[in-house]
Structure 1
Amino acid sequence: MARAACLAIAGVMAVAHSTAALADAPFGAAQGAPISQELTFFFLMLGPFKVVAPFLSVTQGLDPADARKIAWLATLFSSLALAAAGLLGEGLLANYGIPLPILALAGGIILFVVALRNMLQQFNPAASRVAPRGERAAGKPDLLATAITPVAFPAIVTPYGVAALVVFLALSPDMAGRLTIAGLVAAIMALNLIVMLSARRVLSVMAVVLPILGAVLGVVQIALGLKIIYTSLRALLST
């Protein structure tokens, strides 16, 4: 257990180190940005660390088969939502005349506020403790509704994650770049599914690792949100 915790913490610290180079443009999405930077952004904003706790909460007390069904459904709906955002987002920006720095600024503000709220909740655990859904409702919960919310939305598909996806796609120079971004998002969705399917089997490790990872990743997300806000404002003021 200790070894697994150390490996997980080391992974988050590596992500935090990679984040330092991401914000030279809104969401770090400069044309020709390295794939590693794009992957790090999607990992932070759409990845599994923020999904595990809600998934374990809503599946507590459920049969393993039902928990697996929720994981698969949540991954399906998340993938469909992100595909729709990727296909429609750039057109909506053009129709409403929204510059990319404005979208990046909105995403940065949401990321900062959500990360700060989650960080502050750690200092008031009694207020932030929520009973598992299976305990709040009598009988078996609606698996489809549970998969859609809170697992798919907002745990996996976050507003700032959608904003990052739209910005990356809008700044992609060609179809090859767009397909690369689609592949990265698909890889993150697959990783989310793998983590959800295995989370209940390593629950004892998760109980030790998640609070530490949450604290480290929370600080990284707060700093990243501030950096996105700063970079977006600088881009707007320079135009």
Structure 2
Amino acid sequence: MGRLDLWDVFVVLIAVAGPPKVILSFARLAEGRDPRALRRLAWRATGAATLCAVVLAMTADPLLDVFHIGHADVMIAGGAIFFMYALRLVLDGHAETPAGSPSEGFMALLLPYIVSPLAMTSIIVLTVTRPGWVWPPLVAVAYAAVAASNLLTMLVLTYVLHRVPRMWVEVAGRLLGLLLAAVGVDLVIVGLRTMGVVGIPGHP
């Protein structure tokens, strides 16, 4: 994989926590809801998700130290999670359903979006791929950009949801799943190489 840059981080976060991931959950919530209430919900959920991600990005390294978890361990575990998620995304078109009923609003977006296990794992993995104090804030900025794209998508959906073919969402999700599967495999390989378990000639 080599050294990730900010664009790589943004692409990964778009795949695991971007609009294709949020659209399905938000669309289910939108049924029978007032557009104004949906817009308020989009702002609240995005703000909470961004706050959680920024805090996690800035504290990922200390947390790993507290629990005595190595960077290679996180890369291997995260790569495996990425790959399993991507496999389901490619085969099913989506990998999560919103928790709770549409009437629960904010809580219905808690697991799939605000504190998504996959997104939180992604942030930890991406944060520890490069050393130094500058990299975690950049990961946080990348997630904030993804969250902004999610917010924009949700706000637009409140106006045009009834005109968006579900097939478009499914196709986008499957294409991103293919890219994410490759990222997951790469992360596992890098983790194993870091541990000295494998050495693959010609692999960057």
TM-score by length of 1: 0.70
Alpha-carbon offset, residue 89 of structure 1: 1.6
Structure 1 residue 185 corresponds to structure 2 residue 143: yes
Question: Which residue in the other structure is 1:14 paired with?
Answer: none
Question: Which residue in the other structure is 1:162 paired with?
Answer: 123
Identity of aligned residues (%): 24
Output the CA distance in 1 between the equivalents of 2:122 and 2:31. Answer: 27
Question: Which residue in the other structure is 2:201 paired with?
Answer: none
Question: Which residue in the other structure is 1:66 paired with?
Answer: 37
Of residues 47, 59, 71, the one that matches 1:88 is 59
Kindly provide the CA deviation profile for residues 175-211 of structure 1, in whole angstroms up to 9, marking residues without a partner as x. Answer: 4x44433322222211111111112333323424112
Which stretch shifts more, 177-186 or 86-95?
A: 177-186
Of residues 17, 31, 48, the one that matches 1:77 is 48
Q: Aligned AA for 2:87?
A: L
The answer to whether the 8 Å contact 1:77/1:152 transfers is: yes
Kindly provide the CA deviation profile for residues 9-65 of structure 1, in whole angstroms up to 9, marking residues without a partner as x. Answer: xxxxxxxxxxxxxx22xxxxx3xx433223223322332221111111122221101
Question: Which residue in the other structure is 2:107 paired with?
Answer: 145
Of residues 196, 205, 211, the one that matches 2:170 is 211
CA shift in 2, pair 1:237/1:190, >3 Å: same
* Aligned 1:120-131 pairs, distance under 5 A: 120-122=91-93
Alpha-carbon offset, residue 144 of structure 1: 2.8
Question: Which residue in the other structure is 1:137 paired with?
Answer: none
Secondary structure in 2 matching 1:98: coil
Secondary structure in 2 matching 1:97: coil
CA shift in 2, pair 1:183/1:202, >3 Å: same
Output the CA distance in 2 between the equivalents of 1:189 and 1:129. Answer: 19
Question: Which residue in the other structure is 1:13 paired with?
Answer: none
The answer to whether the 8 Å contact 1:119/1:218 transfers is: yes
User: Structure 1: any 5+ residue segments left out of the alignment?
Assistant: 1-22, 25-29, 135-140
User: Structure 2: any 5+ residue segments left out of the alignment?
Assistant: 199-204
Question: Which residue in the other structure is 1:221 paired with?
Answer: 180
Secondary structure in 1 matching 2:164: helix
Q: Aligned AA for 2:147?
A: M
Output the CA distance in 1 between the equivalents of 2:29 and 2:21. Answer: 14
The answer to whether the 8 Å contact 1:70/1:146 transfers is: no
Output the CA distance in 1 between the equivalents of 2:36 and 2:194. Answer: 49
* Aligned 1:10-21 pairs, distance under 5 A: none
Output the CA distance in 2 between the equivalents of 1:102 and 1:129. Answer: 28
Of residues 66, 80, 83, the one that matches 1:109 is 80
Of residues 57, 69, 81, the one that matches 1:98 is 69
CA shift in 2, pair 1:51/1:166, >3 Å: same
Output the CA distance in 2 between the equivalents of 1:164 and 1:198. Answer: 31
Output the CA distance in 1 between the equivalents of 2:25 and 2:115. Answer: 11
The answer to whether the 8 Å contact 2:12/2:180 transfers is: no
Alpha-carbon offset, residue 107 of structure 1: 0.8
TM-score by length of 2: 0.81
Secondary structure in 2 matching 1:51: helix
Q: Aligned AA for 1:40?
A: V
